[in-house]
Chains A and B, each alone.
Chain A
Amino acid sequence: MNKLNSREELTALRKVCKAAFDGEKKKILVCGGTGCVAGGSLNIFDKLKGLLEEKGVNVDVELADEPHGDAVGMKKSGCHGFCEMGPLVRIEPQGWLYTKVKVEDCEEIVEKTILGGEMIERLVYKQNGEIYPKQEEIPFYKKQTRVVLESCGHINASSIREYIALGGYTALEKCLFDVTPDDIINEVSESNLRGRGGGGFAAGRKWASCAKQKEEPKYIVCNGDEGDPGAFMDRSIMEGDPHRLLEGMMIAGIAIGSSEGYIYVRAEYPLAVDRLRTAIAQAEELGILGDNILGSGKSFHVHINRGAGAFVCGEGSALTASIEGKRGMPRVKPPRTVEHGLFDKPTNLNNVETYANVPMIINKGAAWYKAIGPENSPGTKAFALTGTIRNTGLIEVPMGTTLREVIFDIGGGMKGDTKFKAVQIGGPSGGCLTEKDLDVPLDFDSLKSVGAMIGSGGLVVMDDKTCMVEIARFFMNFTQNESCGKCVPCREGTKRMLEILERITAGNGQDGDIELLEELADTISNTALCGLGKTAPSPVISTIKNFRDEYEAHIYQKRCPAGACSKLKRYVIDAEKCKGCSKCARNCPVSAIDGKIKSPYVIDQDKCIKCGACLSNCSFGAVKEEA
């Protein structure tokens, strides 16, 4: 591809790409997100492509320069979101979504669907006896508003030409040639776009204060260190629509006067790193990234830094320290990152989803953006829906949608016939919400008022078999492991909290433990150095608030109501069913079972180590587990 030297040349290229894009009447979009790749989608892609070629069909992987009517577009797209039903294959122009596709299905897809135009009923989504051939009609998708993720799953994720065909980089053009940096900042401020990384700080205000800094150079940094367990929104954007992120960062660069950008990506996201590298190389080749972009005289360069497995690097000052090649430890603030950030220079740090919102705000205007969602938290938010829910996956809804709509309408309710118990939102910094909170609108302020936070957007749904004390222990174990060790409250405090939670779940809880946890939590959240330390006790606080009775049952009755804590399980022998065969007693490693042949045996609870050997050895189903 030739380097573009002016806006006109990009417009001309867009025309060519658009014609080619529209020329591909038939298209197969195979999901190339991490989830579906793990399910074998790349083999499906190769098989479909091979079969089509065998039959002499023209296959276009990249957009052709000249549209040639009869070609079938074969695309590795970004994440479609419906990970539960993967690997996913979307068929256009019909808009059918084939789910759980296997390599063995490929022949039939080519024969019937591509060549014959016929739907394969076996592969389309079904729910409650109804079939939903079209992707947009599936309940999971119907209630979503896909704005940031609009192209994710609909275009070839490794093609700058497809991004351009659908109007990509027009917002950049506008910012380079039509408006001033102040105009850009005003538009973003006016839109009230709030940072999607967790805090919800107004992006426009951050940009304005960074633009005001006198010191040079300035840096644009993108936080792609999506470390919250159970969250993968940013990964899907980086994998599925990387150019949108680059465009957003470049616009921020123009607005604040920076020509260097850094993207910090988690080490666990190799595919995202690959796709971003490809995207950067493509943009550089076209002269959209680099020096003198489209002849505007402005420059922008993007570097990628791979993380090395430290959750704390999601914190701003730790992240910039890590890019500098140091231990990723936060520092005392102020000065803030906008004043002293990367290499001690003024730095604008936003997360992936925040930057990805920017091109649309520039193109469609702040008024359009503000019309979505509530006034104080406008726009949409991507959430990763996981846990014991029927439809796991990646979703995007307007801010202000209720948890009930998300979990039951989009998520399809609970998996199996279990009962909804709680939803954990905001990762290790967030809280657990219950049935009574289901009608809380999902936006920054409403969630804060009930003791949770949007965080980066991970929603982990839990059923009645989940023990909330155990979950609190799980999160505390996570933060304790990830504590960088710099400040005492977090380093020592989380350790002590973990010890208490461990003894409660092991059946050794003591009177006063709940109060001690509350006191420690209070101290840590008031004195820890960084946001991660300050929010580390949140899962404990919210579970104590909503499930105090479970804590009390563990401590005072040595009982786990959910039956999840193995050390609190009791094994008992049902005297009616026991035939007195002695098999359990013979298999008990600690001789805790006693009895006479042909009469019921009894387990001595003081000796029992709860290994479960009796349960698995009983031929008559007489051994039972009691919570």
Chain B
Amino acid sequence: MKKDFDFTVVDNILAKYPAEELSTIAILQDVQEYYHYLPEEVFPHIAKAINVGEARLYGVATFYENFSLDPKGKYVIRCCDGTACHVRGSLPILNKLREELGLSEEKKTTDDLMFTVETVSCLGACGLAPVLTVNGETYPAMTPEKAVELLNELRAKEAAANE
């Protein structure tokens, strides 16, 4: 745990909500939105501020699928594997993405923290199945080939930004 963690961001978030247990999820969501994950340093700090046990807070953070205790990549690709996407062939897309990035069901984020590939049970965009989202933006009617094209576009964008 980092000793010199800067709590300014967390404190600003805490100030937005009543200091009680019912704010737990909203606070964690805002913290995750900023850091893209929940750094371990924030737990004692938030627990004290809203007066709940650290264990309880940790329990909430690990219960819900959307919270992550590990850093995520700059681009979070969420591959929909809802029923509609599944029957229209979402698995080959997921497998292709994992293959391209050297990821698996266990290893979700690339070592350079550039890409995270996750599945989601349904994005509710079933009419456009199969779909995936990159940082919340939806890409409809995907195929494994289109997914690779998308990856290459993102990589090119990164390369251009670094020059």
Contacts and interface: CB of A to CB of B under 8 A. Distances in A.
Interface of A: 34-35, 37-39, 83-84, 86, 226-232, 235, 266-270, 305-311, 322-329, 384, 386-388, 392-394, 424, 427, 458, 460, 462, 466, 471, 474-475, 478, 481-482, 484
Contacts, number: 135
Contacts of A228: 122
B110 interface: no
Interface in B113-135: 120-129, 131
Given A310-B65, A392-B129, A462-B87, A327 B59 contact: yes
A308 B127 contact: no
Give the interface residue-count category, chain B. 35 or more
A34 B25 contact: no
A390 to B, nearest CB: 12
Contact of B26 (A235, A306, A393): A306
A38 B84 contact: no
A231 B122 contact: yes
Given A34-B125, A230-B83, A386-B127, 16 more contacts: A35-B125, A35-B128, A35-B140, A39-B128, A86-B127, A86-B128, A229-B83, A230-B126, A269-B124, A307-B64, A309-B67, A325-B20, A387-B87, A393-B127, A424-B83, A482-B121
Contacts of B139: 38
A519 B29 CA distance: 41
Contacts of A460: 83-84, 87
A37 B138 contact: yes
B66 A270 contact: no
B102 to A, nearest CB: 18
Interface in B34-78: 52, 56, 59-60, 63-67
B66 A38 contact: no
A112 to B, nearest CB: 27
Contacts of B67: 308-309
Contacts of B63: 310, 327-329, 484
B126 A235 contact: no
B28 interface: yes
Interface of B: 20-26, 28-29, 52, 56, 59-60, 63-67, 81-84, 86-88, 120-129, 131, 136, 138-140
Given A37-B138, A474-B86, A326 B60 contact: yes
A153 to B, nearest CB: 14
A373 B88 CA distance: 32
A306 B27 CA distance: 11
Contacts of A424: 83
B25 A305 contact: yes
